[in-house]
Amino acid sequence: MKEKILERFLRYARVDTQSDSDSTEFPSSKKQFILAEMLADELKQIGLTDISIDNYGYVMATLPSNIEKNIPVIGFLSHMDTSPDMSGTNVNPRVVDNYNGEDILLNEITGLTLKSSDFPEIKQYKGQTIITTDGTTLLGADDKAGIAEIMTAMEYMVNHPEIYHGTVRVGFTPDEEVGRGVDFFDVKKFGAEYAYTIDGGEIGELEYENFNAAKALINIQGRNIHPGSAKDKMINSLLVAKEFIDLLPVGQRPEFTTDYEGFFHLTKIEGTVENTVIEYIIRDHDRQKFEDKKALIYDIAGLLNRKYPAGTVKPEIRDQYFNMREKIEPVFHIVEIACKAIEELGIKAKMMPVRGGTDGSRLSYMGVPCPNIFTGGHNYHGKFEYIPLESMVAATKVIIRIASLYAENYG
């Protein structure tokens, strides 16, 4: 199993599937189809059925039931794209065998080093196999590790019919990293009553609650006058933008928050004296606090529109996804089954809120309650990303055990 997972992950990681947040197409980058086609072929090779790729790039397949019991169809999903935050071109993973617990030199040319003093949690993996970047790209464990784990689990169950399970559906999705991963996902076609995204972080993580999320676009219209004759006439939109930013609470920036604390995150600012556009993402686990944050954006805009000409500041807020906890709590047994599968492997289940979102958060509101399970990765979206191979093996075993627990507990 270890060798299979490693081979698969390295092969997937080298395929550039970076999504594009500026694209209006779906998927946002056509290169995601390259991996989709690879995965469809591989699913056929390992013996799954009902394999399909649709025009949107969704890959689906079935592991048929091997028991007579009438039990719920369950699904496992991971996303194919990698983050736009860091290059996914020419990914060249490094494999560090028998990690010694010290710093890891990522790139001999630049000297870039994964320092254990900066990332002390890596020391817990001493003696294990660590897969890192070469310091020039992200690694793509988010979420190609999840794909490798699902694929290996399915192959294992095909080859070990003594492991009883019901019908299992597999899904690989595009564009999760740009928040559009299930925009066109066919829930009816997928046909699962419950599902799990394999898209979490370090070993043991099990998540059934996430942020409520929105994106705010604030357009600021200034008035550009020659600076030599600007007195009482010029309105510098860049400075109005600064006022807007300064009126938001400093303590609610991402760098000052943790656990259940929400935030306003400034993601982009572009402008001139005449016009400036600010982009924020707004996040909070608590629905009322989330709504209050959105209201504050409008309140600040109103304040500045009283100070400056009406219509100077125009905010536009779009909801992105909501906390899946509301949809999962009524069927909490699906979390308990995952927790049991994790702890049977001698791993402590770490129940924690996702400080972000997954495809599962939106799927839960589309009728498929969908908690999130660890892949084993750390430091996603950047050049210091790494994943222990042993954590990937554990995630694969959890997938297999979840499938068998449904067979044991139903019918």
Neighbouring-strand partners of residue 75: 169, 195
Tokens matching residue 159? 């080859």
* DSSP structure class, residue 176: G
Residue among 203, 144, 207 at smallest CA distance from 393 = 203
Give the Cα-Cα-Cα angle 394, 352, 334 (nearest 5 degrees): 65
Q: Which of 175, 176, 209, 284 is catalytic?
A: 176
Alpha-carbon span 147 to 52, nearest angstrom? 16
Q: Which of 16, 20, 81, 134 is catalytic?
A: 81
CB 32 within 8 A of CB 143: no
**Is residue 378 packed enough to be buried (19+ CB in 10 Å), middle (13-18) or exposed (0-12)?**
buried
CB atoms within 10 A of CB 259: 8
Tokens matching residue 262? 């929400």
Alpha-carbon span 124 to 22, nearest angstrom? 39
CB 222 within 8 A of CB 240: yes
CB 17 within 8 A of CB 83: no
The H or E element spanning position 189 is helix 187-190
CB 9 within 8 A of CB 146: no
Residue where the block lists tokens 């003594």: 162
| Coil, strand or helix at 306 | helix
Alpha-carbon span 136 to 131, nearest angstrom? 14
Alpha-carbon span 359 to 341, nearest angstrom? 22
In Å, how far from its chain's centre is CA 389?
Answer: 20
Catalytic site includes residue 261: no
Q: What is the set of active-site residues?
A: 81, 176
